[in-house]
Structure formats: C-alpha cells, structure tokens
Amino acid sequence: MSALFRRKSEKAEPGERLVTLIRKPGCHLCDDAQAVIEKVCGELGVPWDQKDISEDKELYDRYWEQIPVVLVDGEQHTFWRVNADRLRRALTE
C-alpha cells in the first residue's frame, strides 16, 4: 500500500518509505544532511531523493529559511541539522 494511502495504524516497511532532502547549491549543511541520509537510508534500504529549491518556486517559498529540510513520506521531519538516530527511529517505528 502506498505511503500516501496507508492508515496511521499501519506500519510501513523501510522499502515503502521515502526520504526527501530539500537543499540548495553550495550549502554545507545540506552536504552534511545528505551524508546522514545516505548512511541511514543505505543501512535500512530506504529510498531517498533530493530536490533543489533553486529550481522549484513552491519549495523555495516554503522552505528557504529552513534549508536543508528533510521530509519523510512527504511530511517535514527536520530542518538545518539531521540526527541519524532520530531519522532511523522515524523510519523504523
């Protein structure tokens, strides 16, 4: 069942999750966040992608002051700094 249609009571398997990093070019915090995401998602087998706010006006308007932003299944998980343990818990609980 897709993450968009899953009931809150249903636990998603790691491979059914999606982590999205919203970033901008030349951002050292974004590079740090990407390293954490690559590590945690790689360990858990969770797919992830990234979006560049300089190429998307809607993302720019919404997240410019919070970059980097991490979404889990389309919901904001964190911004600025990514904690590996917190991300891992969000993806496994």
pLDDT digits (tens, 9 = 90+) for 51-87: 999 999 999 999 999 999 999 999 999 999 999 999 9
CATH number, domain with residue 70: 3.40.30.10
Q: Give the whole-angstrom CA distance, residue 85 versus residue 76.
A: 16
> In terms of pLDDT, which residue wins out, 10 or 4?
10
Instruction: Write down the pTM of the prediction.
Output: 0.83
In the chain, the number of structural domains is 1
> Residue 72 is part of which domain span?
16-92
**Is position 36 within any domain?**
yes
Three-class secondary structure assignment of the chain: CCCCCCCCCCCCCHHHCCEEEEECCCCHHHHHHHHHHHHHHHHHCCCEEEEEHHHCHHHHHHHHHHCCEEEECCEEEEECCCCHHHHHHHHHC
Look at residue 2 and tell me if it is in a domain. Answer: no
